Structure formats: C-alpha cells, structure tokens
Amino acid sequence: MSMLMFVYFLLFLFGFLSVSLSQSNATVKCPLDFSIQSRLAEASRHSNDANMQCQLIRQGIGLVQSDYLRRTNSFLISDAFTEPCWQTVQSLFDKYPNHFDIRTVCGIQTHIFTQGCRNLTTRAQYEAKNSKFTLNSVVEACNQSLQIGEACATCTTSISALEPSYERGRNSDYNSDCIYYKCIYAAAFSNSFGPAYKHNVECLFALTFDRSESAKKHGEHLIIACSASGFLIFVMSFAVFWWLWRYKLKMIRSKKDALDSTSSDLDSICGDTTLIKFSFSEVEKATKNFSKLNIIGSGGFGNVYKGVLLDGTEVALKRFKNCSSAGDAGFSHEVEVIASVRHVNLVALRGYCIAMTQFEVIPDRPTPITADVDGMENSFSSTGISSMSSFSTY
C-alpha cells in the first residue's frame, strides 16, 4: 500500500513539474527587440535566392544584437531565452514568401545567441581585447553621419582593425561571429545615433529601412514646421492688427476731441445768435448726398453746393476739404465772423452742422463733415472721419 502511494506521489510530482515547465516556457519572452527588423525595407527582409536570404537573416540578427548590446552592455543572452528568441526569428521569416527552416537551410544555429566569438559576452571584455587607440580611432571615424559613401568607407576601414580578427583554421561560423562582432560593437557604441539609425543600418549591416517610414517621419516634421510657421504668422498678424486698431482708435479720439472743442466754440457762438445746428442727414438730403450736379462753385477751402431744406428753403452749403485741427479752428472762426456780419448785399448765415461719420478708405470719395456758411458750404473730410458744415440761405 505504501509503495503504491509512493508511485502515485512520483507521478503527481512529475505531472506538476511538467505543467510548471510548460507554463514557464510559455511565459518566457525573448529580450531581443526583433521589431527593428519589421521596419526594414522589403529587399532587406527576403530574397528569392536562398544564399542571399540567409545572409540577410544573419545581418538582421546582428542588427538586433547590436541594439541589445547598446541597452545591456552584453553581446549574448541567457540560455533560457535561446528557444523563444529563435522561435521569434523563425516566425518573422515565416511571414515572407519562399520561407524555409533557417537552421536547416542556412546552418545558423541557436548558439549564435549564447556563444558568439571566443565566448566574449560583455562590452568590457570586448574592449579589453583592443587598445584605447584603436577604440578611439573607431569612434573618431564612425561618430558622424554615415550617409555619404566616403564617411562609411572611413568607418568600415577603422572597424577592420578591431580584435578579434579572422583566424585561419577556424570554422566559418566562428570567424563569421567574430567579424560580425566588429559591426555589432561599432554600431552600438561608436556612433551617437545608435544601431537602429537608418544610415548606420545601411553602412554597417548593408540593410535599408522602408522608405515609407522615413517619408512618414519627413511628413510629420513638415506638418510640425508648417504648424509652427502658421502660428507665428497668426501671432504677427494679430500684433499688427492690434497695433493698427489702437492707432486708428487713437486718431478717432483725437479727432473727436478736436470736434468737441470746435462744437463747444460754435455752441457758445450760437448762444448769442439765431444759428441752427443741423444734423448730418439733413445736410445729405439737402444736397442729394453731395451730388456733383449740385456743385455751384469751389474755392480753396472746398466746394459750394446748392441745397434745399425740408421746409423748401434754398441754401448754399460750403464743404471744407480737410479735417485737421487747424481746419476745425478755421471753420469755427469763419462761422463766428460771418455770423456777426450783417449787410444787405450778403446772404445771412442760416446754421451749421458738426457730425462724426464712419471712416471710409475710398480715395475719390472721402466721408465729410460739412459746413454751410452764408450761401457757401464748408466741410472737413480729407481723412473721412469727421465733417462739419454750416448753412445759410441764398
């Protein structure tokens, strides 16, 4: 009975260990980043020629190993990750047309991830094999953009001086690993852009990235540049608009102040006279909106219009040409003088108009401030901001 229980216990333990190991293998993830290979151009991923395909696979693995070395300072991975990493390589290749078993056709074995060249496993061990002069020479030659052919040639020439070198009598796998170590190390530490930079990939591993990837990045950079330029133009336009608005507002206020001053002067005159203060709309109706057909004369200060008031009274209106503060003062003075003059041969002053009108930028038709004085009409409006007018009957 005790023997039977012991057998059951062994079977249970064996089953438990088997399940645990299978679950452990299922959860083990390869530490190498093979997503870099998915960015390679189609011509760098597969070929119809088997020998060329094997070479591309080996170069792609070297690129991934260089990225791992840069991140961890280690060339090799633990034996526990060998099978998951190899399955990742094979699964990526199985997505390409004309795929095959890599180990059978190419002869690339799993020890490529765990043994390498002369059992050199870390960056420190590899650098100990080379003099500081050699390492510095490689950095000096390779730490630049390798896009230009001459720069790439200088870099690869300096890399050839790294140890360990090719050894006669050794098998091809051994020498191949040692040769790849040179490019793996140089791509990881001799160029500040890193192994996954497109020009480093082209020069050191003879691979190319998809054009669509670089075009996408170029498009993103272009969008950012255009957005920044558009924002800058918007800010500058807003600043210019704000400055012009402030300037215009300042001019309007100064004109209004001058107009208020003139109006105050005329109101004080009207207090002692019978002058009528007309509205600007009354002036426009009287002159049919300052029609050219109503012009009956002109002088140095402006045109004289014939007009008819709402009560049927015919009048002459003089419209000043300018809106300067000096013109406003001159208009007030003219109104004051004419209002105080009485003679049988002179037409009596009937009234005046002071009004603010909307600014216009039509050069041939400025908006006026009109004034009609003694059968002659005055108006200030060269700027189209304000107009003053006084009226008198014929």
Binding residues for ATP, by number, are: 318
Q: Tell how far CA 230 is from the center of its chain.
A: 7
Q: Are 394 and 315 in contact (CB under 8 A)?
A: yes
Written as one letter, the residue type at 15 is: G
Q: Are 75 and 186 in contact (CB under 8 A)?
A: no
d(CA 255, CA 278): 20
Nearest in space to 112 (alpha carbons), one of 67, 81, 143, 135: 81
Which two structure tokens, joined as six digits, stand for 95?
């997505």
Residues within the annotated binding site? 318
